Structure 1
Amino acid sequence: MTANTRITTPFTARSTAAEVLAGVDLTGRRAIVTGGASGIGVETARALAGAGAEVTLAVRNLDAGAATAEDIIATTGNKQIHVAPLDLADRSTVTSFVAAWEGPLHMLVNNAGVMACPEAHTPDGWELQFATNHLGHFALATGLHAALAAAGGARVVSVSSSAHLRSPVVFEDINFRDRTYEPWSSYGQSKTANVLFAVEAARRWADDGITVNALMPGGIRTNLQRHISQEELDRLIAAAVSSGSGEDMTWKTTEQGAATSVLAAASPLLNGVTGRYFEDCDEALPSDTPQSRRGVAAYALDPASAARLWELSVNA
């Protein structure tokens, strides 16, 4: 595989997570899925469990996590489903989660997130979406690096979004101190950070046998949109249609939305592939316009920005 070879697979936007992992045996492998108690996190965890993996649901709501675990056990017959507390906006819970982890880790799916929420900052001053979607996952992944390296051939999955096309990481004002807070620009910045993390982690961790990829799961109606009114969703769809990028605005099911996540986490089709951005089970093409809902922005794959973000995140 050369550096400029685009990765494609037999799967499509309508493929489900179970279809992607059909015939894949993950027995003996261990996975963590953040946000594994809602939305595509549930179906990501279910598909991995259905293929035989031991899965830990890292969740804020332990009751929801327990109910999800029971459901996954019932539908897959796999009893190796665990639940552990994790609030990505609270660094102490990330530290506790990492400290409690024992043994190798083969798959880390950084799936949890918040979207377009009202302006808020963590106690240490970070804008909430950036802190949750990027910094929390960065601390988790780097904290688990030794466990990933011990697994041999581990994979890290960074769930991004087409919303990364809305904004690069604005290093001069990440926390919206000097500019007016705009929920979608904030979300877009955090999703660009998810891709940049994959780019730099892929470079840094290659010698450890760890591959890291980012992805866009597609449009799925889940609790992630709890801060967005139906009127706002309708407005966004209308804007996409008028810009000519609305031809793919049909919603995916959660099972379809989890397909690209499990492709990156466990499919043998991606063995050795690292530092890429996928959508609809294929590596994405470069984005052609800022208004597009498809493709990947050049700034999200920029090595210099990725290295800069890493250094900022280490010191956050």
Structure 2
Amino acid sequence: MGESLITTPFGATSTAAEVVAGVDLTGRRAVVTGGSSGIGVETARSLAAAGAEVTLAVRDTDAGHRTAADIAASTGRAHPLVRRLDIADQASVRAFTDGWSGALHVLVNNAGVMAVPDLRRSAEGWELQFATNHMGHFALALGLHRALAEAGSARIVAVSSVGHIDGPVDFEDLNFERRPYNEWAAYGQSKTANILFAVEAFRRWADDGITANALNPGRIPSTRLMRHMEPSPQALAPGNANSTGVSVKTVEQGAATSVLLAASPLLDGVGGRYFEDCNEAGPHQPGIRRGVADYALDADNAARLWRASLDLLAAV
């Protein structure tokens, strides 16, 4: 983290449309994973509204086409493209990257799963949350690196979570082969991995004109990501500022930080950082579900995760 935290005029209640107002993305191409549900829809909508050619990378292409039609109708812009991508399946990731041609200016790694209640594994044998939230997006970024470099000034946005404070990456047991499975430990590890990916991607690829940042979108109770949880309605009322510091948001507010990192000129050249509520987050303080854990920004951890991830890919 730099000497001073990056701040913007926006905050917890800002919407995606507000942070992209006045930004012109004409001629730029963007990919949003998980772009047919939750904050992915609003992220894609705001990028399209600003003039970007948006590709919705989605597992359910029927839902993707419905979303694309809605985005085109609501923005008056070109119909977003729809391509199939199951981010938890490495064969699907390879098919997506092999089929991409031309430059890519914005990659929003948005798709994810949370708190899967029982231990599940991907086809590669990886724990499902790690496979989905980290390994799929890691492989996607690697496969699209040439396209991102071709853009000359590209951005990668890694949607992480305040859940990363629940634990670091366990390099000795990435896939819960020895330790007992816990859904929150698995989720926290995968979200820490998202931040570490952004740190190392920026270090490795800055010379290619590629920046990468991670973010906490806040808690958005209306999305499918929350389907494994049963919180109280009061705890999840939008605008509620509870004692834990969690920002509870509408979908439009939840997409704001993603869109800020993807499109705002305020973030030109900025990389390797973690944002929440449209501003760079400070250090995590015990007892408060805000801020960024020191292990999630650690350069040695980031480099180690990159190497471990490459090893996992090489083994399949």
TM-score bracket, shorter-length normalisation: over 0.9
Name the structure 2 match of 1:193.
193
Name the structure 2 match of 1:95.
94
Taking a change above 3 Å as real, the CA distance of residues 265 and 254 of structure 1, as seen in their structure-2 partners, is same
The reply on whether 1:164 has 2:173 as its aligned counterpart is no
C-alpha RMSD of matched pairs (Å): 1.7
Name the structure 2 match of 1:42.
41
Shift in Å at residue 247 of structure 1?
Answer: 5.2
Number of residue pairs the alignment of both structures matches: 306
Name the structure 2 match of 1:180.
180
The reply on whether 1:281 has 2:282 as its aligned counterpart is no
Which has the higher mean CA deviation after the structures are superposed, 54-63 or 177-186? 177-186
Taking a change above 3 Å as real, the CA distance of residues 134 and 247 of structure 1, as seen in their structure-2 partners, is closer
Name the structure 2 match of 1:300.
296
Shift in Å at residue 250 of structure 1?
Answer: 5.6
Amino acid across the alignment from 2:303: A
Name the structure 1 match of 2:255.
258
Shift in Å at residue 248 of structure 1?
Answer: 3.9
Name the structure 2 match of 1:106.
105
Amino acid across the alignment from 1:70: A
The reply on whether 1:203 has 2:177 as its aligned counterpart is no
Distance in 2 (alpha carbons) for counterparts of 1:249 and 1:272: 29
Name the structure 2 match of 1:241.
none
Shift in Å at residue 54 of structure 1?
Answer: 0.3
Distance in 2 (alpha carbons) for counterparts of 1:218 and 1:71: 24
Shift in Å at residue 183 of structure 1?
Answer: 0.5
Shift in Å at residue 124 of structure 1?
Answer: 2.2
Residue ranges of structure 2 left out of the alignment (5+ in a row) = none
CA contact (8 A) 2:106 2:154 kept: yes
Distance in 2 (alpha carbons) for counterparts of 1:104 and 1:78: 20
Shift in Å at residue 128 of structure 1?
Answer: 0.3
Shift in Å at residue 249 of structure 1?
Answer: 4.2
Equivalent runs, 1:112-127 vs 2, <5 Å: 112-117=111-116, 118-127=118-127
Name the structure 2 match of 1:137.
137
Provide the secondary structure at the position in 2 that maps to 1:215: strand
Provide the secondary structure at the position in 2 that maps to 1:294: coil
1:200-240 deviation per Cα after TM superposition (whole angstroms, max 9, x unaligned): 00100010010000000001021001122x2xx249959xx
Provide the secondary structure at the position in 2 that maps to 1:156: strand
CA contact (8 A) 2:12 2:247 kept: no
Name the structure 1 match of 2:268.
271
Q: Percent identity?
A: 64
Shift in Å at residue 251 of structure 1?
Answer: 2.4
Using the size of structure 2 for normalisation, the TM-score is 0.94
Taking a change above 3 Å as real, the CA distance of residues 119 and 63 of structure 1, as seen in their structure-2 partners, is same
